Amino acid sequence: MTRMYKPPHPGEVLREYLGNLTICAAAARLGIDSQQLEQIIAGADAVSPALASHLGAAFGTSSELWIGLQAQYDSGMGG
């Protein structure tokens, strides 16, 4: 039997990028509400294309990275 790989929610990856930043500081840096950021990190909210753009700019990644992570998670293997 083949085991399926379950991709992480983008919020799990984002948590790593945040390092020691508090939710409030990270939300301010991203220009979003801290409640929204908490929901994403908890895996209860998706990364939108607009947020992916903010994440890319804030962390020196591409927005495509974050969109791709969300697409993989949404593909049925992760959620």
> Which amino acid, residue 16?
E
> Which pLDDT score, from 0 to 100, does residue 76 have?
67
The answer, yes or no, to whether residue 78 has pLDDT greater than 60, is: no
Topology annotation, domain 10-73: 434 Repressor (Amino-terminal Domain) (1.10.260)
Per domain, the residue ranges of the chain are 10-73
Rg (CA), the chain: 13
Question: Do residues 73 and 9 touch, judged by C-beta distance below 8 A?
Answer: yes
Model confidence at 79, pLDDT cuts 50, 70, 90, reads very low
Helices and strands in the chain: count of H runs, count of E runs? 5, 0
13-58 residue pLDDT tens: 999 999 999 999 999 999 999 999 999 999 999 999 999 999 999 9
For residue range 56-65, list pLDDT tens digits in order: 999 999 999 9
Residue 61 CA to residue 53 CA, distance in Å, equals 9
pLDDT band at 6 (very low <50, low <70, confident <90, very high): confident
Torsion of CA 40, 46, 47, 51, to 10 degrees: -80
